[in-house]
Structure 1
Amino acid sequence: MRRTLLTIAVSVVLVAGSGVPAWSAPTPTPAPTSVDGWSVEDGRLTWRSERPVPIGDAVVEFWSGDRLLGRPATDSDQRTLRLETGSGTLPADLSVRAGGRRLDAPPAARNAAPARVTDPAPLPPNAVDPGVKGPYRTVRGSYELPGVTLPRLPEPVEMLAEVVAPQGAPGKRPLALFLHGRHLWCYAPDGAEFELDWPCAAGSVPVPSHLGYLEAQELLASQGYITVSIAANGINAQDNAVDEAGADARSALVRRHLALWAGWAGDRAGAPPIVRSSPVADLDRVFLMGHSRGGEGVNRAAIDSLTPPPAASDGAPGAARWTIRGLLLIGPTLFGQNPAADVPSVTILPGCDGDVADLQGQLFADATRGVSKGRALHSVLYAVGANHNFFNTEWTPGQSAAPSTDDWFLPEDPVCGTASPIRLAAADQQTMGAVYIAAAARLFVDGDDRVRPLLDGSGRRAPSADPARVLSHAVGGNRTPVVLPDEAVRTGGGARLCDQVSRDEAAACLSSPLGSPHFATFRLLFDEPDRRAVRYDWTAAGTPMTVTPPSPARLGDARELALRLAVPGNAPATTFGVSAVDSSGRTTALGDVTLTGLPAGEFGTPVWAQEVRVPRKGVRDVAQLILTPRAATGTAWLIDAWGWAPGTPDPRPVALPRVDIAGLVVTEGDTGEKTYQIPVSITGGTQGRMRLSVVQPNGDGVTWDATVAPGQDRIDVPVTVRGDTVWNHQPERIEVLAKAESGLVIGDYVGTVDVRNDDPAAEVSVDPVADRVTEGDALTWRLTLSAPSESRYDEIVLVAMPPADGTPELSTTDVDPRWLLDTFGVPAEPSRPLSQVVYWWPSLEPGQVTAELRIPIVADGVAEPEERVDLHFVTVDRPPLSGTVTD
């Protein structure tokens, strides 16, 4: 139910206690004839969609205004979502959100409607193409072992994998493990229905999501890799109830499979047949691929392999007998914004992702800056025209065993719609995915630096991935920081430091963070003062923008200066002159760079930084960076700048100190304040710095830097709960969040304080004041709470409906026309039943206990029979209210 539709209710008078001035409703919009699918049933807040809601990787959430209510469960019809609230009434201003977009309403446009869109021009070909099939024939098979129980999940999770391995490859071979994301887990083969039970109910079978990457497995196996794609349906079926959405369970599942392969490498006698038919795996050369939540899962496996979780919560205990050399992540989630900073990665962002629509996987690169040594390369690829699902054939219509859908939500979109020439065909998208999986493996595991230009912003393409258009940028590797925007950076010439995540539009880089993957939010933290970029708006060509780091940045062995620079979607080719001022005050013009806005419809996420480079021309250090636009007007965002040199250094990963947060459930109490200490545990010994935040349910909160001293093993975060005797009909959940800034790695990044309200619920009554009147008077009812609510109370909704017994219904010409126009924005003529207009949704602010509904009737002097209006309760089960008018 959208508040903008339902506050059109009838003229409402609110009275706080007694004797306060009347409150006038704002000018409303016409009432809908339904309640947009919302209801409360047996204490469960329920939303019914007109069409199936795909089960995907973005977290589906119910919201009331700016307040998160929780994550609903989905019924087997895939149209009905339910959230246990314990309340019998309906909250206000409801919405359903996932991945940064509304599911219960048409999405709000992020960009202006484009006049035209064009595909980026093809890049020059790379010297080496990793998509070329290798010399080895392949063998394929599967293994299945007894399921395992993982922490926080009540039901066992399957141990099932599909193996494709090379034949005749000499010696030990590297191992590539694939993990799919969150999709439906069971279906009935004889119909189109999905089943939501786990384990699968009789008559249904698991969705074979792990079979969706066979093209990539075959390509890697032909090049000498043992490939293992593992099933995770048991996690998908249970992770919705877990705060961090199953990342730790996926990590444990990955590590359990790796432990099996480590054991089989030493003793193959008891291994499954497909393992014995494969070469011996080299566990010192492990590569992980994860799609969607699987991406966050393999990232967590990399973290947990270097710095083990606390023993009490580890689902795969024991020392890691493997070394993870790199990650490839497709459309990944990163709810925790906690990338494995020392493990190289490549992240593919699908330009038409309708599931993880905020493209939060960008933080797998951006959030590594400054955390560790910076030697690991973190690449991001923007795949123009690719959606989320079609990288997996088992999520692709026409290829999948189970029913599947296109995740992009607007078929008429000029970029991502089904008829768009920019949109990639499913087969082309799958080939592109396989090629870049092979590129990442070849660079990180084989050390073949010839494929690096495909991944690190050097502007090359793999011809075997044509016609896909794939752009790249990177951080880390052979880069030296020059400009990392923070509060110490000074700007001039029309440039300004902007906040990537801020509710203050004047300070924000964009009016909505959904316009850029770089600005993805961290759970309910809507203000992050430590995340900055530089925004530049200009109105005349040749107006220089200056950016001055706190101290001159030495370029060392860098060959070029690399900038990650973004322009708006669909922006024409925009050229900037790049100059550097060194510490002696000398200015050197380094050259021009040109970039064109990414193709974007109204709902894309196009403000993505493209990497551009200029030669250093003998500049030893950079005391100031100058960008001079050649275009007359425009906008640009500088994400960062680096000294760049070719090559890929050994990342030399280290076991950083690890941070994990616990949570607890508390009772509110009746009086005073009570402060609880939320333990933030630290293992590993050395020092580091992180940002801690305490976030209230509405997004308000505090955030601060916390320093970890050598040997420190705990930080207590105080969370204060205020006791009272006032009923609160909304749940209260406070979150404690941790994010690494330097020298640390974060495991369990969120601890929740669930505050149980222990006060009795107020009784709600709606009574007639005047429900039988003559023309010229007003029908009046009064809503009363027996006690005030601690939060706004707006859970009663009534709608006018025709009298069921055939009594004549009051019409729009029976009521005061000025009242009708002021309240509903509609004229009295032509006459129509009130059931087409009247809604009542009273809203009582904290402390207010009554609201009145008043319908003024005109005296028309015409002899008429009795007429009636019936008001039916929508959100609670009560008899309707009736108002009768006589002459």
Structure 2
Amino acid sequence: MRVLGTITLGMAAVLAIGPVTASATPPPSPVVEGNSWDVQQVPAGYRVTLRLDAPVQMRAARPLLAVNGKPVGVARQSADGRTLTLVTTDKVAAHAHDVQLTWPGDQRMSVRALAGGPTDAYWLNARKGPLLKDDPGKPGKYQVETSEYNLGDEAVLLPGLGQKSEVVGKVYAPVGAAGKRPLVVFLHGRHESCYGDESAPSDKPWPCPKGTKSVPSYRGYDGPAKALASSGYQVVSISANAVNAFDFDAYDGGAQARAELVLDHLTRWRQWSTIGGGPFGSKYIGKIDLQNVGLMGHSRGGEGVARAAVVNADRGGQFGIRAVLPLAPVDFARSTVPGVAMSVLLPYCDGDVSDLQGQKFYDDTRNSITGDGAARSTVTVLGANHNFFNTEWTPGQSVAPSFDDWGGEGSKAPCDAKYAGRLKAKEQQAVGTAYVAGFFRLQLGHEKQFLPLFDGSDARTASAGKAVVRVVAQAPLASRRDVTAFDKALPKGALSGKVTAVVCAGETGKSACLTTTGAGDAPHWDPAAFASHAPTLAVTKLSWTDKTGVLRLTLPTVQRDVRKYAALSFRAAPDPTSTPKADLTVRVVDGRGRAASVPVSTVSDALVRMPGNQTAGLPKNLLRTVRIPLSSLKGVDLRDVRAIELRTDRVAKGSAYLSDLSFSSPGIGVSAPTVKAPKVTVSDVTTKEGDKGTTYADFVVRLSRPTTRPVVVYAETSLPFAEVMPVGDVAKAVVFKPGQVRQTVRVPIKANTRDSYDVKFDLALAAPREALLAKSFGHGVVLDDDPSPKFTVGKLVTTEGKGEVTFPVKLSAPSDKHIGFGGLWKDGAAVLGRDYRGQYDPPEHTLTGGIEVAKLEGELTVTVTDDKVKEPTETFTAFLDTVDGIDGLQLPIAATGTILDND
């Protein structure tokens, strides 16, 4: 390592970079450098670059760069996956002694003190619910016929990606099933696109280069596909390798492109199932019901299918997408999926999407639109990792290289491969089959026998084996009465005794629920990639110091008759700094003062801390279900329930999070594309940078129609990875009052008079209330309006034997660009290797040089040798045929070097 100096700037955020491209000219001189990395000064801060021997591993999570062990931001990868770059203002970069690739789940740091030690032993023998008689994981009555279609590697141009994708799918059909059948589409996630000879030359990552094969990720879901098909459902699993190959450069991580790919397949199936043609002729005519469609998406495919459901609704609901199952999904953009039945499957030992960010699909959607009649749930599977739900991502089962994404902790911790609670690959696949098949049979086929798997009662199936599964559910509106979401301050007088209650949200600020350093242990509150400032789930944090505390909620007259409901439920989790096994008593009181008390610990382990002891983002802090059957409230008049109390009489000291108290009964609900909901769109903006002060990029946010309810959506700048950053950081709520349909979000642009690059950035919309996200990313361009400075290369006159000397290379004014140039040395009387030498050894005629950012002078160096021979003056010439960063320059440029004899 060599340290060349320290430069600090005053900007405060990690900034983004543009696409990493190769250049024939050298980069700026590094501030610090190592064997495979360097840190360079740029106007926006520091550019950190890491070069890898092999392409970066293809994962759902976005790669991070860590400097001296500290993650400083998300990195942008080059097209070949071997170079990672970001721009940061973090001053640790100027003092780097180590730069490494890391991932969100790799940060195995201590984040907070845990009280009482781990609860691993409990979870090895955790409570299990009743066993269902019918098992959706077992084969049904139909034989299954499989076939594949392949319309080519570049059969469709995908909006949101700007690249062509393959149209490839595997079909699972029930043999002999009469009439139209529901269709379920599976979409895999972000994995390697190709495998084989990685040294094969290629100018782009897709189609697969010569010597390599396409990874058949779409074939990895045979278990749930065959379980569904054998029960009478049509299933298609589609390939998305082109999206994986190009989404490193997608503004949204590829969500829109994946959604478009799903809808393209559905469009083709509309033809194949009505008029026929294509790869199947008339085989599927009248066999598929495209008004009863389910979508399963794994990993980044999870966000893709969620987006597909919303885009479908925005386009008028041309397909009847009625059920969406994101499996171990990312949720980079905090989208909602209202109106459509949804179950989010969360693997507790996910080593890729380690913060279980898919939890936010449930949190954000559950109350996002008034009158939403769909059911939704989360299914947390302990001992399951990210990859093994797909056999093509599982070692020993895949045809291409694959791996265990958890990676191991070197001990028998809760997610280590040797831990007794960790599921083997086939055990995990069996759980996935049961819940994926069960969900779609419930929602598309209305097979109500599977309701207990998704209503929060923790029923289980034999095929799921030893798996410990915890389900949180929001019953459909028609069979639910909400008492409180616990997201606002309690009514005056609701507390008595030594107990306090505060509303909290997020991980930072005075109202944070808990403070974390980003280890992924707070799925409800970790910030999202493109909406890091959007408010996260608000809950009530209840804390007590003795057994006298009471939280009492009084029911209004219209809510007192609860006879039509089956259970009282809420979500809860223990504070990790409190006792590992908290407890409360739920007391229900009627109009005559008669009461029934139920300790939480007798019906739920929601207040038992989840397994793990503060390594690799464990334990997760997840709200879980407390469900009390109303039939157990003996002696209470359910026609006249006056109050619900939470009492601290079980444990003398503790703290817990509370959310979503309601009465409910299990139900399938009403699910359909929410075509009647208003749609929110954001415009694109192109603006000039300006010369003085601050200018603005005005994004117009529109509502498709006026409403009687306020509409709220959060807008946040998604900054590019630019080395010059004139774009201000904006994060705000955009509120449409009843009747309003247009709002403006102003993004400040810092003007200057220095020549710079044009800068691209986005304004992302997230977490809407009372509306759907239609066009959720506004694309901004800041056009640099300053002329390029004049570039000159002067003559060099020197004496032999002077050693290294420099041609005068100058700019007429500083530039925010690195000015790199290249060309050739041309001999005159002076001969390369005898009288002078360039930058390369052995001597080459190639020359390179540059002027660093914000500097007026650059370097074009040459070494003049010495001899003992008296000779006349000799000359040679520097010919510059490429100059990057200067517009309109006439090339080539020639500069003469003169060597005077000293003998």
Counterpart secondary structure, 1:367: helix
| Superposed displacement of residue 124, structure 1 | 2.3
Hey, what's the Cα distance between the residues in 2 that align with 1:562 and 1:378? 15
| Superposed displacement of residue 547, structure 1 | 6.3
Instruction: Tell whether 2:713 aligns with 1:707.
Output: no
Counterpart secondary structure, 1:443: helix
Aligned to 1:831: none
Aligned to 1:456: 455
Q: Find the partner of 1:395 among 393, 396, 400.
A: 393
Instruction: Tell whether 2:612 aligns with 1:612.
Output: no
Aligned to 2:744: 716
The question of whether the paired residues in 2 share the 8 Å contact of 1:338 and 1:747 is answered with no
Distance 1:42 1:613, change over 3 A: closer
Instruction: Deviation per CA, 1:573-600: give whole Å up to 9, x if none.
Output: 5432013568x79684442211222212
Instruction: Deviation per CA, 1:12-48: give whole Å up to 9, x if none.
Output: 99999xxxxxxxxxxxxxxxx9859532599974224
Aligned to 2:179: 171
Hey, what's the Cα distance between the residues in 1 that align with 2:767 and 2:62? 20
Aligned to 1:137: 143
Matching of residues 771-810 of structure 1 within 5 Å:
none
Instruction: Tell whether 2:61 aligns with 1:39.
Output: no
Q: Which moved more, 1:629-638 or 1:371-380?
A: 629-638
Aligned to 2:804: none
Distance 1:586 1:45, change over 3 A: same
Instruction: Deviation per CA, 1:247-295: give whole Å up to 9, x if none.
Output: 1111111111111111122123x24249827971121221111101111
Aligned to 1:114: 118
Aligned to 2:878: none
Aligned length: 729
Matching of residues 731-810 of structure 1 within 5 Å:
735-742=763-770, 744-751=771-778, 753=780, 755=782
Instruction: Tell whether 2:539 aligns with 1:533.
Output: yes
Distance 1:98 1:152, change over 3 A: farther
The question of whether the paired residues in 2 share the 8 Å contact of 1:179 and 1:298 is answered with yes
Aligned to 2:502: 497
Aligned to 1:600: 612
Aligned to 1:823: none
Q: Find the partner of 1:366 among 360, 363, 366.
A: 363
Hey, what's the Cα distance between the residues in 2 that align with 1:740 and 1:586? 42
Hey, what's the Cα distance between the residues in 1 that align with 2:269 and 2:7? 70
Q: Which moved more, 1:522-531 or 1:243-252?
A: 522-531
Hey, what's the Cα distance between the residues in 1 that align with 2:574 and 2:567? 21
Hey, what's the Cα distance between the residues in 1 that align with 2:186 and 2:203? 25
Superposition TM-score, scaled by structure 1 size: 0.73
| RMSD between aligned residues | 4.3
Hey, what's the Cα distance between the residues in 2 that align with 1:15 and 1:256? 47
Distance 1:713 1:170, change over 3 A: same
Instruction: Tell whether 2:682 aligns with 1:674.
Output: no
AA aligned to 1:599 is P
Aligned to 1:562: 569
| Superposed displacement of residue 473, structure 1 | 0.8
Hey, what's the Cα distance between the residues in 2 that align with 1:172 and 1:11? 71
Counterpart secondary structure, 1:256: helix
The question of whether the paired residues in 2 share the 8 Å contact of 1:726 and 1:789 is answered with yes
Aligned to 2:841: none
The question of whether the paired residues in 1 share the 8 Å contact of 2:475 and 2:666 is answered with no
Hey, what's the Cα distance between the residues in 1 that align with 2:458 and 2:186? 27
Distance 1:452 1:629, change over 3 A: farther
Aligned to 1:877: none
Q: Which moved more, 1:588-597 or 1:633-642?
A: 588-597
Superposition TM-score, scaled by structure 2 size: 0.72
Aligned to 1:236: 244
The question of whether the paired residues in 2 share the 8 Å contact of 1:578 and 1:590 is answered with yes
The question of whether the paired residues in 1 share the 8 Å contact of 2:381 and 2:467 is answered with yes
Aligned to 2:23: none
Instruction: Tell whether 2:221 aligns with 1:213.
Output: yes
The question of whether the paired residues in 1 share the 8 Å contact of 2:351 and 2:406 is answered with yes
Instruction: Deviation per CA, 1:430-477: give whole Å up to 9, x if none.
Output: 111011011101110111222111112112111111121111011241
Aligned to 2:272: 264
Q: Find the partner of 1:322 among 319, 328, 331.
A: 319
Q: Which moved more, 1:352-361 or 1:514-523?
A: 514-523
Aligned to 1:301: 308
Aligned to 2:646: 626
Aligned to 1:446: 445
Matching of residues 417-456 of structure 1 within 5 Å:
417-456=416-455
Aligned to 1:353: 350
Hey, what's the Cα distance between the residues in 1 that align with 2:332 and 2:704? 22
The question of whether the paired residues in 2 share the 8 Å contact of 1:262 and 1:322 is answered with no
| Superposed displacement of residue 234, structure 1 | 1.0
| Superposed displacement of residue 716, structure 1 | 2.0
The question of whether the paired residues in 2 share the 8 Å contact of 1:671 and 1:724 is answered with yes
Hey, what's the Cα distance between the residues in 2 that align with 1:505 and 1:50? 44
Counterpart secondary structure, 1:299: helix
Aligned to 1:72: 76
| Superposed displacement of residue 354, structure 1 | 1.1
Instruction: Tell whether 2:720 aligns with 1:691.
Output: no
Unaligned runs of 5+ in 2: 11-31, 631-635, 720-726, 790-811, 817-853, 855-903
Hey, what's the Cα distance between the residues in 2 that align with 1:550 and 1:670? 62
Hey, what's the Cα distance between the residues in 2 that align with 1:548 and 1:518? 28
Hey, what's the Cα distance between the residues in 1 that align with 2:203 and 2:9? 49
Matching of residues 478-557 of structure 1 within 5 Å:
478-490=479-491, 492=495, 493-504=498-509, 507-511=512-516, 514-523=520-529, 525-528=531-534, 531-545=537-551, 556=562, 557=564
Distance 1:408 1:731, change over 3 A: farther
| Superposed displacement of residue 692, structure 1 | 2.9
Hey, what's the Cα distance between the residues in 2 that align with 1:444 and 1:247? 24
The question of whether the paired residues in 2 share the 8 Å contact of 1:131 and 1:438 is answered with yes
The question of whether the paired residues in 2 share the 8 Å contact of 1:186 and 1:195 is answered with no
Distance 1:524 1:189, change over 3 A: closer
| Superposed displacement of residue 157, structure 1 | 0.5
Instruction: Tell whether 2:640 aligns with 1:642.
Output: no
AA aligned to 1:643 is F
Distance 1:499 1:14, change over 3 A: closer
Q: Find the partner of 2:163 among 139, 155, 161.
A: 155
Q: Which moved more, 1:381-390 or 1:445-454?
A: 445-454
| Superposed displacement of residue 534, structure 1 | 1.1
Matching of residues 189-200 of structure 1 within 5 Å:
197-200=205-208
Aligned to 1:407: 405
Instruction: Deviation per CA, 1:598-649: give whole Å up to 9, x if none.
Output: 2124222521112112245435466664242512333311122111113322
| Superposed displacement of residue 363, structure 1 | 1.5
Identical-pair percentage: 32
Counterpart secondary structure, 1:183: coil
Distance 1:622 1:92, change over 3 A: farther
Hey, what's the Cα distance between the residues in 2 that align with 1:699 and 1:512? 25
Instruction: Deviation per CA, 1:819-853: give whole Å up to 9, x if none.
Output: xxxxxxxxxxxxxxxxxxxxxxxxxxx9xxxxxxx
| Superposed displacement of residue 197, structure 1 | 1.1
Instruction: Deviation per CA, 1:628-680: give whole Å up to 9, x if none.
Output: 25123333111221111133222355311111223435443221222332022
The question of whether the paired residues in 1 share the 8 Å contact of 2:481 and 2:663 is answered with yes
| Superposed displacement of residue 520, structure 1 | 3.1
Structure with bigger RCO (C-alpha 8 Å, 6+ apart): 1
Instruction: Deviation per CA, 1:795-826: give whole Å up to 9, x if none.
Output: xxxxxxxxxxxxxxxxxxxxxxxxxxxxxxxx
Hey, what's the Cα distance between the residues in 2 that align with 1:69 and 1:752? 22
Q: Find the partner of 2:195 among 187, 199, 204.
A: 187
